[in-house]
Structure 1
């Protein structure tokens, strides 16, 4: 892990590019606080002092450690050992079930005040315009909850070009706008946080695929109708 992260961010630095890391802490050795700390040590030692935009994914751990522990351990370790990292907390799963005020309250317990902001729509097919509106409302609510008006909201736009009929490898999904970032936190930012062509699992237009598997047909399908 350490070597892979270091090679990626170092190559980006040589090319004067902004590396983007989407971290899934559930690949840690276990779901304990010690397990997370060990995993994040590997990541942060790979980043070192390099610049990086880091999205900390939100997943429920089946063992003893709750999501709050997972996210706060990540924020604490990244801030301490990777000072060049801009950390964003993934609020995608929260946004499925809660309105922006509810999401903001939960994010406050995840130390969102110590981060650069929040990521939404990660791996989802929500239309870009819908994600943008949700992002603006969430940012406004976070400003009230945290007292910070400089928190950014980044939406995964890799698969949000149109409204899709299904949420799992939909055949009618299309790519969204390509990575539009600005220094204005009042607008929802756009990044491709999911590689086009990555499968959601054995469903939809890729019934024989595995979650996370690259399926060329899914990637080409996203480009249908694109000039």
Structure 2
């Protein structure tokens, strides 16, 4: 009997040890019922404090739709910010979309310049980000533009950027077993697919779910999907694996207007967040109505700030 009891105990311990490995394959879509609508998105807050026809239009077209919440130093304690947000989504059985946007040297000094003060601060920040999600279901977009902008960085800093992105991928793989994390892969006309595949492989995309295409841009879903497929094909031919991708459709309803990207006129809301549609998911990653910077049709609105005129023009496509 003692031998049998020890055998059963050993089997039970093996089952417990195996649980984390099984959880690492957790599918957040199977653990939730639809995407989470951020009640505190800039457009929702504005509409809630400015009653009237404009607010009603914004509520109906934008604030009722699921989109991403972006996280940087402005969120304060990142552990609390991420835990609170993912917990709120988990309580209502919805899948939250989060964007990690705090890489040092962000945006190469452009409109969204900023990021963590140094590599050590970033490692602490992204480690706490992933840990705060823990076992809760989530979708995370890792560092928009960080890989595509590699060429605008001083040559001496590029390897550090790659190392930090690889560290980020490792953190989500290790600490957030029910999260699908996607490394940003630029857009369809920015970096050649084969080059982007090399960069993605260098930062450990193999360890996470896949890549994100068209974040904060206006390329059509078809063009973005074709680019995502080309990058995945390059990963296959060069490194022996493929990866799924998601496409940001928040502002691509009219497609691009040349290469103008900073608050251009004539852009329109695209397909709301959904599963499938030419990619693994179509997601509203960029927050509709939030400015790209002091440029285009919002010359006085800082990056990340909401402007009702931008929102209305995305609704009407003008």
TM-score w.r.t. structure 2 length? Answer: 0.64
Determine which structure has greater relative contact order: mean sequence separation of CA pairs < 8 Å that are 6+ residues apart, divided by chain length: 2
Q: Does 1:30 align with 2:117?
A: yes
In structure 1, the residue matched to 2:281 is: 189
Q: Does 1:179 align with 2:266?
A: no
Q: Does 1:153 align with 2:239?
A: no
Using the alignment, how far apart are the partners of 1:137 and 1:172 within structure 2?
Answer: 28
Q: Does 1:126 align with 2:203?
A: no
Where 2:273 maps in the other structure, the secondary structure is coil
Cα deviations by residue, 1:54-101 (Å, 9 ceiling, x for unpaired): 1101435779563201210101112122222211000117x5542111
Structure 2, unaligned runs of 5 or more: 1-77, 104-113
2:92 to 11, 15, 34: 15
Q: Could you tell me whether the CA contact under 8 Å between 1:159 and 1:196 is conserved in 2?
A: yes
In structure 1, the residue matched to 2:83 is: 6
Using the alignment, how far apart are the partners of 1:189 and 1:98 within structure 2?
Answer: 22
In structure 2, the residue matched to 1:218 is: 310
User: 1:1-80 to 2 correspondence within 5 Å?
Assistant: 1-26=78-103, 29-32=116-119, 34-57=120-143, 58-59=145-146, 64=157, 66-80=160-174
In structure 2, the residue matched to 1:170 is: 264
Deviation at 1:146, TM superposition (A): 3.4
TM-score w.r.t. structure 1 length? Answer: 0.88
Q: Could you tell me whether the CA contact under 8 Å between 1:37 and 1:73 is conserved in 2?
A: yes
**How many positions carry a matched residue from both structures?**
221
Between structures 1 and 2, the one with greater helix share:
2
Structure 1, unaligned runs of 5 or more: none
Using the alignment, how far apart are the partners of 2:131 and 2:279 within structure 1?
Answer: 32
Deviation at 1:152, TM superposition (A): 1.1
Structure showing greater Rg = 2
Q: Please identify runs of 4+ aligned residues in structure 1 that moved more than 6 A.
A: none
